Amino acid sequence: MKKIAVFTSGGDSPGMNACIRAVVRTSIFKGIEVYGISYGYDGMINGNIKRMQSHSVSNIIQRGGTILKSARSDEFRTFEGRKKAYDLLQKHGIEGIVAIGGDGTFTGAKVFFEEFGIPTIGCPGTIDNDIFGTDFTIGFDTAVNTALEAIDKIRDTAAAHDRIFFIEVMGRDSGYIALECGIGGGAEFVMIPETETDLKRVVKSLKNLRKTKTSSIIVVAEGDEEGGAEEIMQKVKEKVNDPEKEFKVTTLGHIQRGGNPTARDRVLASRCGMAAVEGLLEGKSNCMAGVVNGEVVYTPFEDCIGKPKQLKEDHLKLIEILSI
Ligand code: F6P
């Protein structure tokens, strides 16, 4: 293999730049030409591709976002779109691909590999941590710490005013961010898509609030079955029906996607990026390079996107027990 391409796709995540850097520098170290495709699959279709050198990735390990930009491509969902992408890669003589992204990225990569056979390895770049085949995804640790910093600040004002705060964090289909910063932020309740949300229990607890505590923090994943934080707050407020209690909502939103990656994310990104290039050179394909129990492992795309990543039962228990 003499020429590979790297791209980022889907929602960006802090650490994607560190991963690009690892892919580019490992390739050059191994004597391979490396190309960067901008704007994910859209860039592959539109010919947005350029040769990268070692200095192309200087001074980016600490930066959030992605120097290769990102996009969610509708055209790549069509066979015609994928054929255009294939023609473009052929024109440049690309023999291998590193795809940095989440489940949408890997779904596209799997279909593309099955149709056109260009060896592809993924790196798990998403703040959601919802990818099977890696203990953590690149960007998750940073997103959790960003959310936690905000939750700590909200807790100060919640306590000062005896208020009940519903804080919405990202996670359309996944409660990992909510659970992690719920534990770290000492939340009374965490509402996530993976588990049933028992509003009756929340209402009961808030009705009795002043017996033990005066304020409360409830972390809601945006994809919870009962709705977003605003909707859930309204439902709960109506049922608590106590004009003395003040309810507030804060939606953290895209702040969770930006910022300098933490050390953990930089190291994870560097390991996955290097492993992706090494995997391609060893003949691996149609799989993702992740880290499980501290070791690099390659998991077929099929499993990464098809198998649910189980939440840790003891994490759920922690919230219940420690919030009494
Ligand atoms: O997949 C990462 C993620 O940040 C989700 O947590 C969130 O639901 C989604 O992306 C938001 O996407 P967009 O930036 O396109 O609104």
Could you tell me the CATH number of the domain that includes residue 57?
Answer: 3.40.50.450
Task: Tell me how far apart the alpha carbons of residues 206 and 241 are, in angstroms, rounded to a whole number.
Answer: 10
Per-10-residue mean pLDDT, the chain, length 324: 98 98 98 98 97 98 98 96 98 98 98 98 98 98 98 97 97 96 96 95 88 91 96 97 95 98 98 98 98 98 96 90 90
- Cα 118 versus chain centre, distance: 25
State how far the alpha carbon of 258 is from the alpha carbons of 13, 121, 171, in Å.
7, 25, 15
Give the per-residue pLDDT at 322.
93
Sheet holding 3-8, edge to edge: 49-52, 33-37, 3-8, 96-101, 120-124, 287-292, 295-300
Give the per-residue pLDDT at 151.
98
Does the pTM of the predicted model rise above 0.90? Answer: yes
Considering the domain architecture, whether residues 234 and 268 belong to the same structural domain is answered as: no
Give the per-residue pLDDT at 324.
86
Q: Would you say the CB of residue 128 lies under 6 angstroms from ligand 1?
A: yes
**How does pLDDT run across 37-65, given as a tens digit for each residue?**
999 999 999 999 999 999 999 999 999 99
Give the per-residue pLDDT at 213.
86
From the list 128, 130, 224, 265, the catalytic residue is: 128
Q: Would you say the CB of residue 172 lies under 6 angstroms from ligand 1?
A: yes
Instruction: Compute, in angstroms, the gap from residue 218 CA to the centroid of ligand 1.
Output: 21
Considering the domain architecture, whether residues 12 and 119 belong to the same structural domain is answered as: yes
Give the per-residue pLDDT at 313.
87
128 is catalytic: yes
Instruction: Compute, in angstroms, the gap from residue 128 CA to the centroid of ligand 1.
Output: 8
**What is the Cα Rg of the chain in Å?**
22
Q: Residue 252 is part of which domain span?
A: 143-257
Final residue in a domain of this structure, among 242, 257, 272: 257
Torsion of Cα atoms, 72 then 41 then 50 then 23, to 10°: 90
Q: Would you say the CB of residue 102 lies under 6 angstroms from ligand 1?
A: yes
Q: Which atom of ligand 1 is nearest to the CA of 102?
A: 1
Q: Which atom of ligand 1 is nearest to the CA of 173?
A: 8
Instruction: Compute, in angstroms, the gap from residue 157 CA to the centroid of ligand 1.
Output: 28
Q: Number of folded domains in the chain?
A: 2
Whether 320 is covered by a domain: the verdict is no
Other CB atoms within 10 A of residue 264 CB: 15
Give the per-residue pLDDT at 162.
95
Tokens of 124: 């798990």
Could you tell me the CATH number of the domain that includes residue 212?
Answer: 3.40.50.460
